[in-house]
Amino acid sequence: MDRYKKHSIAKLWIAGALMMAFFFATSALAQDSAAVDSAAVASTVTEAAVAAPAEKAPDTVGDLVLGLNTVWMLVAAALVFFMQPGFALVEAGFTRSKNTANILMKNFVDFLIGSLLYWAIGFGLMFGVGSLVGMPHFFDLSFYQGSLPTEGFLIFQTVFCATAATIVSGSMAERTKFSMYIVYTIFISAVIYPVSGHWTWGGGWLMDASEGSFMMNLFGTTFHDFAGSTIVHSVGGWIALVGAAMLGPRIGKYSKDGKSRAIPGHSLTIAALGVFILWFGWFGFNPGSQLAAAGEADRFAISHVFLTTNLAACAGGVLALAVSWMKYGKPSLSLTLNGILAGLVGITAGCDAVSALSSVIIGAICGVVMIYSVEFIEKTLKIDDPVGASSVHGVCGFLGTVMTGLFATNGGLFFGGGAALLGAQVFGAVVVGTWAAGMGFILFKILDVVHGLRVPARIEEEGLDIYEHGESAYN
- Burial (CB count within 10 angstroms: exposed 0-12, middle 13-18, buried 19+), residue 360: buried
Q: CA-CA distances (angstroms) from residue 176 to 420, 452, 466?
A: 42, 9, 14
Domains along the sequence of the chain with CATH:
60-469 (1.10.3430.10)
pLDDT digits (tens, 9 = 90+) for 354-393: 999 999 999 999 999 999 999 999 999 999 999 999 999 9
Q: DSSP string of 228-273? A: -IIIIIIHHHHHHHHHHHHH-PPTTSB-TT--B-----S-HHHHHH
Contacts of 135 (CB under 8 A, 6+ apart): 124, 128, 129, 143
State which residues of the chain have pLDDT below 50: 1-54
CA angle 238, 244, 249 (to 5 degrees): 150
pLDDT for res 62: 83
Residue 28 to residue 13: CA distance in whole angstroms: 22
pTM of the model as a whole: 0.87
CB proximity list for 272: less than 8 A, separation 6 or greater = 93, 333, 337
pLDDT at 21: 43
- So what's the pLDDT on residue 55? 53
- CA 210, CA 217: separation in Å to the nearest integer? 10
What's CA 390's distance to the chain center, in Å? 19
Q: Count of CB atoms within 10 A of residue 314's CB? A: 20
